[in-house]
Amino acid sequence: MPRLLLLCLAACAASTQTAESTDFRPQLCSGGSPGDPTCPMNQVELSIGSGADMTIFGELAFTVATDGHTLTTSTIDVRAFTHGLHVAQLGFASAATTTVVACPASPPADAQTIDLQPNATTTLPPQMVADARYACVVYAALGAYR
């Protein structure tokens, strides 16, 4: 089963803090429509800081399917919370293991920069990650709407 890790790349802007999630096992879509019991949505907070200093700028919700070799994320919804959301070079990438060291040093070629006003949502096109027993959700910068 694939596992995901969310992290901010080394290229993060000085004005942002590095963010890293604990790795998790996404629920896989085996058929049906997104949100159905057979095709659950996975959710990842886009935040920086921790504890009382944590600021949550938005969330990423998506479905995951795999054929055993390729991880396909689709119905990728990015939703901004009250601060709005700026996320630079957001994308999915393969990793050898679930450690930050295994994640790529740069965003994938299809990474996107997103600016959303407070409480806005956008949907990204599906992304495929080859040879992805493990994968990373990566971005270069994260913060409030600019």
145 vs 42: CA distance, rounded Å: 23
- Predicted confidence band of residue 12 (pLDDT cuts 50, 70, 90): very low
Q: What is the pLDDT of residues 49-93, one digit of tens each?
A: 777 887 888 999 999 888 877 788 888 999 999 999 998 888 887
Interatomic CA distance for residues 1 and 48, integer angstroms: 27
pLDDT reported for residue 128: 84
Helix, strand and coil percent figures for the chain, each rounded to 5? 5, 50, 45
pLDDT level of residue 117 (50, 70, 90 thresholds) = very high
pLDDT of residue 19 exceeding 80: no
Return the residue matching tokens 């407070």: 118
Cβ–Cβ contacts within 10 Å for residue 74, how many? 17
pLDDT of res. 96: 63
Domain locations along the chain: 3-143
Cβ distance 62 to 41 under 8 Å?
yes
pLDDT over 90 for what percent of the chain? 23
